[in-house]
Amino acid sequence: TLKAVVFDLDGVITDTAHLHFLAWHAVAEEIGITIDEVFNEQLKGISRMDSLQRILKHGGKEGTFSDEQCLALATKKNAFYVQSLASLTEDSLLPGIRDVLADIRTANVKIGLASVSLNAPGILRALGIQHAFDFCADASLIICSKPDPEIFLAACAGLNVRPEEAMGIEDAPAGVEAINAAGMLSVGIGSGLNHAGLQLDSTRELTWKCLTEFWASRTY
């Protein structure tokens, strides 16, 4: 039986994926690198420092900045990002999320969070949903970014369920890979997530009914 549902945060629970993009876009422009939304797909689910490395590589500037300069760039990005988070309120949940969280709880299935964002606790508080989760994996303890399964395995361990008893929900290719690699059932939100066990166009479709039907139809 299904014992837990583990959520990604940015781009699944709230639209912070776009705010991450805007902050990186501003920092990248300052060092002469232009990034667009297509390239940004590769940054989703990737930690702050790894994201910076990908941007530098994308702009042909890999290895041109010292560790200190990289840290300063990442710190600047985070300052922009945190500023933009001030706009988050309890109304910033993506469509359907409040209902699906409530329905999962009513069904007595555990709810976990697997976000590599160090800002996750603050974002949950701003959204007023910190109590909706039985366990949130601690991003500061995670060594490998998605697509490594580490954070999803940490979430399952914290929830005290086996990965085969859980499903994960993601908006990023790297995140779907991480769920699959953990041995969990994967749900992808948005386009281009061909490796997800179930693909949905938006969180509007992410209902408890849809999740239970998917669970019942699994083939392993």
Q: List residues near ligand G6P by CB under 6 A.
A: 10, 17, 20, 43-48, 51, 78, 115-119
Report the 10 Å Cβ neighbour count for 156: 28
The binder of Mg ion chosen from 48, 77, 113, 171 (CB under 5 A) = 171
Rounded Cα–Cα distance for residues 150 and 142 (Å): 7
Choosing among ligand G6P, Mg ion, none, which partner's interface includes residue 119 (Cβ < 5 to 8 Å by kind)?
Answer: ligand G6P
Which of these segments, 4-12, 34-42, 156-164, 183-191, binds Mg ion (CB under 5 A)?
4-12
Toward ligand G6P, which CB reaches closer, 39 or 208? 39
Residue owning tokens 């970014």: 145
The binder of Mg ion chosen from 10, 41, 150, 177 (CB under 5 A) = 10
Q: Coil, strand or helix: which one is 23?
A: helix
Active site (catalytic) residues: 8, 10
Question: Which residue's CB comes closest to ligand G6P?
Answer: 117
Q: Does 41 bind Mg ion (CB under 5 A)?
A: no
Q: Per the structure block, which two tokens stand in for 169?
A: 């929900």
Toward ligand G6P, which CB reaches closer, 3 or 18? 18
Toward Mg ion, which CB reaches closer, 150 or 171? 171
Q: C-alpha angle 77/81/85, rounded to 5°?
A: 170
